[in-house]
A and B are shown apart, each in its own frame.
Chain A
């Protein structure tokens, strides 16, 4: 019986007798309570189980769909399994050795720089619009809807739509030709322009999400602060600099973490639009190709484990550099 008082009392509103006493009681007092009271003997086991009963469904789901697959993946990464064969051999760390002795496999992370740059743009744009639209503005709800809309569309559909958009003589070219630009460019034709275009699509898609996160955070800042600031003659920029920016810091740092891990694991947009051709392959596309083109499920699992470790590491470093402080504006 090493239960601490805090875990002993679940946050259930069961009006059972002795709750208050238990909550603040020590272990010794509790055992004393239990001995004479027959009622608590019946209540106790059930009450102890209650939170776990509530947790059963989410835990089962979590274990089945998160931990078992991850466990499987880690297990596969130590085998030479091809994905279908009933036999697989345990090869120890061979997959990891191969991974780290082939530097060209990590070259694809250079592509992530395009997406990383794009996320800077994305966060800036989202922050700008979130700030502007948090003030009173005509049609602001309409604009909010427009900005958030791309995030609601399925990524696969976006890939297909933008394929037409970037087509030679497609939407983008015709729009540019209205402004007198040469309406004839293979946007996905060369590595630089293809990667920039793809990163652009990802900005288009994810700005809405960042925007909504920022908007929510900004609106949780008490309105009196702005009023006070305005009375003091603070400009919009000063309000942003001294009220909004510090006020939404946790959300901002969350966005940066999401942006970095997202840039490292870009997948669907380049996979659908180019299939990784013309040097637009990312680490995840490469992993998928190992697993499903060359039947190296073992090596692909090792790649996935390495990517997971990398993202955890970067997040940890980031948390060390920018610790999650409590925001206290007032």
Chain B
């Protein structure tokens, strides 16, 4: 009987389990989170989920909320900071409880947006006011507004490069490598820092520059139709070859396995490291680090990817996280009021030295060099991002994940067997195979 009972218990469990899996009601997806007309008319407690735990801890977010309350006195804003934002929100999104305002996690398939978020308006009208609307556009409706955008390039230490006798930005990858070599020879600094251990600086930042080489805002979308994205002449080929050559010629840190992002900021500020591929959001952080280390913050420079189209540099501009309203929220208009206020009035993007989501705002101070040198800002099209992501996941390459570039670096420094061309062929093969299975 003991055994029987256990069996019954297990069976019941299994049945409960299976039954429990068919949850998930369908909320009213058509209800637009419209901006309130009269600020005094909105009320309610809203919770804002964010990845910026640092801004919650130092009270910056609270200040924003207090500022917000001057216009919307009846809305109470609470913040919830998540250190592992993607990981935690993904799990919470299996329930209905994932805040009122949240950043859209990368894991949600674009086609599923209407199931999770309330639409914010028609894309055709949103488009004229906001940048990056196509990233969250599903069937003509926009589901998110960017917190800010980031231009891509190399953060570098100007004083160090000057010391090496370089005052002009390199215009080709060949020249870039020569410059790095000069930095190493004349200053003894590490010319480039990969941040191999932390991983993320190898992933998004490099892939975000797809389009910087060809000066094509559609370059990223085109991956959806390419069978060989690593073929000679493509952006990925150019970027990954550059990374490979930097490491292969020993122009990067000696032991990549124990790099550290936080300390790398100080290294760059002090001139012990020459350059790093990052988004423009990093400029302010580097300047802070320079100040803390007693160095001159103006030494931190930002240069575009060493490639020119028609005598002009290009740099991609990509959207950071986008804020959205939970479709299950009871205070949709309060939530929308927060998003609008945060985007338009808070001054958050400017403070972070990033590009505002508002089209009416110009480039931030951090990108002054880009403006002065007439770098063409290419706003990356996101029209086919969902297809690209689907292929990327199916191929298990991970364009925005560190693994494949970590292996590239391992090949470049001879830690694992393989050649660059062989690896590109393998990636191409996996990509084209995944394209067939995804059925695009």
**A interface, CB within 8 angstroms of B:** 2-3, 7, 59, 63, 67-68, 71-72, 75, 82-86, 88, 163-164, 166-168, 170, 186-191, 194, 274-279, 289-290, 292-296
Contacts and interface: CB of A to CB of B under 8 A. Distances in A.
A187 B108 CA distance: 38
A296 B393 contact: yes
A294 to B, nearest CB: 5
Contacts of B105: 84
Given A2-B1, A86-B112, A277-B403, A189 B398 contact: no
Given A2-B1, A191-B416, A71 B14 contact: yes
A167 B255 contact: yes
18 contacts: A71-B16, A71-B17, A82-B109, A83-B107, A84-B93, A163-B197, A163-B258, A186-B255, A186-B256, A187-B257, A190-B415, A194-B257, A276-B403, A277-B197, A277-B257, A277-B410, A278-B415, A294-B393
B256 A85 contact: no
B60 interface: no
Given A68-B13, A279-B416, A82 B107 contact: yes
Interface string B229-264: 000000000000000000000000011111000000
B13 A294 contact: no
Nearest to A76: B21
B439 interface: no
Nearest to B94: A84
A78 to B, nearest CB: 10
B90 A84 contact: yes
A189 B256 contact: yes
Nearest to A165: B258
A189 B257 contact: yes
A75 B115 CA distance: 23
A275 B87 CA distance: 16
A294 B396 contact: yes
Interface in B391-413: 393-394, 396, 398, 401-403, 406-407, 410, 413
Contact of B398 (A63, A88, A294): A294
A326 B107 CA distance: 54
B9 interface: yes
Interface in B48-99: 87, 90, 93-94
Contacts of A88: 21
A67 B258 contact: no
**What are the 9 tightest A-B residue pairs by CB atom distance, in nearest-first order?**
A168-B255, A188-B257, A71-B17, A186-B255, A86-B24, A167-B258, A277-B406, A294-B393, A67-B13
B87 A292 contact: yes
Nearest to A88: B21
Contact of B416 (A86, A170, A278): A278
B10 interface: yes
Interface in B171-221: 196-197, 199
Contacts of B416: 191, 278-279
A72 B254 CA distance: 45
A75 B21 contact: yes
Nearest to B2: A7
B10 A293 contact: no
A170 B263 CA distance: 15
A82 B415 CA distance: 33
A10 B396 CA distance: 55
A190 B108 CA distance: 36
A278 B256 CA distance: 10
B18 interface: yes
A68 B16 contact: yes
B403 A86 contact: no
Nearest to B86: A292
A213 B255 CA distance: 39
A55 to B, nearest CB: 10
A275 B17 contact: no
A72 B257 contact: no
A191 B407 CA distance: 11
Given A63-B13, A274-B257, A278-B257, A84 B415 contact: no
Contacts of B16: 68, 71
Contacts of B258: 163-164, 166-168, 170, 186, 188
Given A63-B13, A278-B416, A295 B254 contact: no
A63 B90 contact: no
Nearest to A2: B1
B196 A63 contact: no
A85 B13 contact: no
Given A84-B108, A295-B107, A168 B410 contact: no
A277 B10 contact: no
Contacts of A277: 196-197, 199, 257, 402-403, 406-407, 410
Contacts of A295: 107, 393
Contacts of B196: 277
Contacts of A163: 197, 258
Given A186-B255, A194-B257, A86 B410 contact: no
A85 B112 contact: yes
B142 to A, nearest CB: 20
Contacts of A83: 90, 107
Nearest to B12: A63
B410 A278 contact: yes
B393 A191 contact: no
B107 A84 contact: yes
A296 B434 CA distance: 14
Contact of A85 (B14, B109, B396): B109
A276 B267 CA distance: 26
